[in-house]
Structure 1
Amino acid sequence: MKAVRMGAPHPCTTMKPLTFALLRQLVDRKFHSGEMLAQRLGISRASVSNALHGVEDYGLALYSVPGRGYCLSNPPQWLDAALIVHHLGGQAGQYQIEIFDSLPSSNTLLLQRAAQGAPSGNVLAVELQSGGRGRLGRSWHSGLGNALTFSLLWRFELDLSALSGLSLAVGVALIRALHALGMVNARLKWPNDVLGSNDGKLAGILLEAQGDMLGPSAVVIGIGLNLSTPKHLLPQIDQPVSSLEDMVAGMPGINVPERNYLFAVILRELQAILYEFASNGFAALRAEWESHHALHNQTVRLLLPDGRTEIGIARGVTENGALILETVGGMQVFNAGEIGLRAS
């Protein structure tokens, strides 16, 4: 039996549609002959072999045995729009969910659709992103099936300035969802990260807005959440990371949620938070956000866009989501944007 070795894909590569179709045939962890796979998809056996070549580069363990065929020992939990809608129940009507095998960036595509008039509640989820983006132009790395990466379009009757603090509000929605699923150790880090085990990054939030200064406005909310640690991608990641798998280790009775159910729980919490934000702004969520801030009342080093640093004690956030830092010169306020927070 031959086990295909794991490696790290080139960041610009992505899977072919045929490869996704074949991987979906291998979800049962059983061996399937190349001939049978070829017949099911109406292709040649050579095409099967070529399409499955290199899938190990995406963190998959594919076994190839002469006379028996192919077996995928760690198949992804594939996203299923119908199953997500089922889990959403009465809230399903708020969303229009579309799932892509691969995209460079769900945020980029949804921003284009927003400009073309796409309605609020549009959701684009991606099994494998080749160009996911984080704050400050950083890349978001995720493998196949080990993360939940999606973008949500939400329209507000608010002007752009009234959206201050929205990324922190989205963080509260993620915390509510994770705590409801038993991940009570998840915490927030200003301005838009969710931390898991050992203060590693569990999830990131990227907001991109369109609109007029006087309103209305549209926001694309991009979220990436690690379900398991992408070991094959660790060499490309320049900061501590965590995952739901890491968090449930040693927690009796708590398991990593099924991916579609997890997605639905997050969407439900997002809907509640976004309606609340539209009515009352971030001020109504400020105390809840502060109660989950991992660095609240701790000495921190604030990295500013121009390279300067500020040292002080994190004393909370304003009603607009700006950081309040107690420094030797007194209380100072720093707005969201190109500001990163690091523990001293």
Structure 2
Amino acid sequence: MSSRIREQLLSLLLEQGDAFTSGEEISRRLQCSRTAIWKQIEELRKEGYQVEARPKKGYRLVHRPDRVAPEELKPHLRSQRFGWSIQYHSQVLSTQLIAHDWARKGANEGSLVLTEEQTKGKGRMDRAWHSPPHSGIWMSLILRPTITLAQAPQLTLMAAVALTRALRRETGLDIRIKWPNDLLINGRKFCGILTETRGEQDQVQYVVLGMGINVNTLEDFLPDELMKVATSLAIEGGRTYHRVTLIASILQSLEEFYDAYLKQGFEPVRILWEEYAETIGREVRTETSQGTIAGMAVGLDPSGALLIRHQDHLQPVYSADID
């Protein structure tokens, strides 16, 4: 109940802008006591919000911290399902771990785990993901698609297209996709996508779609080993970005592409993925269980495998890192 009142209170203060709103008016609109309002204002102040209070005038918001909390995000949401049910934490080991637990307990499709900082962020193949506080978007989305386990890897490619479309629109930057799950600007990675699937009898039960995006991270805060290969939207765009605006745009784009994928299949995703791909038309090299494959990346096959022209034939690669 208290979190709901806090969300509504913040939305009301934001709606009023620089104008004061009386405690009586807030109490009437939120249908709660003046004491409850005061308690929630104190909670907002602890989170870094500056709320001015004046006798006979009421309250107004004079400063907002950069947070991705539900009360900040929900006024920006344009999606119908994605992101309306949220677990928010100031710090976690990994949003993936929380999302898996929530999904097992029956969380609805579109439920979202958000954090300001991950201390053990996860990438593909259990690699660590650097997730400094208040600088990026670290989130995991729960999906419940009616698809087979064999089709599940297509969701990573669908997500890459959806994020690329949303972030190009919001930033104007030339964002490209590296197969299968990285987003690049000028050849350097700023976003990783991790899709983890649980199912049985060849049917998907749920999918946790994890996204780590370097938004306002500056070069001084990147570890030395990442300086040559990693970047952020702020580094490339020369400005900072409002994170909740980006999240709202991403969720809207993901919902649209996800719904279209379930209705129309993978082919529309494949066409757009190839359009945005950094990988297509380049010489690549990868290690697979069958040995080393080197050649020209020419596109995706109908299932989503990367096609590499190798020794005069097309070799599909289903899951591997490429150089």
Task: Verify same fold: TM over 0.5.
Answer: yes
Q: Deviation of residue 305 (structure 1)?
A: 5.8
Q: 1:242 to 1:183 in 2, by over 3 A?
A: farther
2:285 maps to 301
Q: Which residue of 1 aligns with 2:246?
A: 262
String of CA shifts for 1:107-162, please: whole Å, max 9, x gaps: 01111121121111110011110111000111000211111000000111222123
Aligned residue for 2:305? 322
Partner of 1:203: 191
Instruction: Give the AA of the match of 2:242.
Output: E
| 1:89-238 alignment, distance < 5 Å | 89=78, 91=80, 95-196=84-185, 198-229=186-217, 231-235=220-224, 237=226
What are structure 1's unaligned runs of at least 5 residues?
1-20, 29-74, 250-254
1:75-100 deviations in Å (ceiling 9; x for gaps)? 97211312311111463676312210
Distance 1:136 1:23, change over 3 A: farther
In 2, Cα distance between the equivalents of 1:144 and 1:257? Answer: 15
Alignment pair present for 1:274 and 2:258: yes
Any idea what SS the aligned residue of 1:85 has?
Answer: helix
Q: Secondary structure at the residue paired with 2:134?
A: coil
The amino acid of 1:211's aligned partner reads: G
* Structure 2 length-normalised TM: 0.76
The 1-side partners of 2:45 and 2:72 are apart by 21
Q: Which moved more, 1:237-246 or 1:325-334?
A: 237-246
Q: How many residues align?
A: 267
Structure 1 residues 315 and 148: CA distance shift in structure 2, 3 A: same
**Alpha carbons 1:298, 1:313 under 8 Å: kept:** yes
Instruction: List alignment gaps of at least 5 residues for structure 2.
Output: 1-43, 51-63
- Cα distance in 1 for residues equivalent to 2:88 and 2:173: 29
The match for 2:272 is 288
Q: 1:333 to 1:272 in 2, by over 3 A?
A: same
Paired letter, 1:311: A
Single out whichever of 257-266 and 210-219 deviates more from structure 2: 210-219
Give, in angstroms, the shift of residue 302 of structure 1. Answer: 1.9
- 1:87 matched to 2:68: no
In the alignment, the residues of structure 2 paired with residue 127 and residue 289 of structure 1 have an alpha-carbon distance, to the nearest angstrom, of 29
Alpha carbons 1:76, 1:145 under 8 Å: kept: no
Q: Which residue of 2 aligns with 1:248?
A: 237
Q: Is the 8 A contact 1:183 1:247 kept in 2?
A: no
For the residues of structure 1 that align with 2:176 and 2:111, how far apart are their CA atoms?
27
CA change 1:108–1:164 in 2 (3 A) is same
**Cα 1:81–1:139, aligned 2, differ >3 Å: closer, same or farther?**
same
Give secondary structure in 2 for the equivalent of 1:149. strand
The whole-number CA distance in structure 2 between the counterparts of 1:312 and 1:23 is 56
Aligned to 2:321: 340
2:79–2:255 CA contact under 8 A, matched in 1: no
Contact 1:158 1:217 in 2 (8 A): no
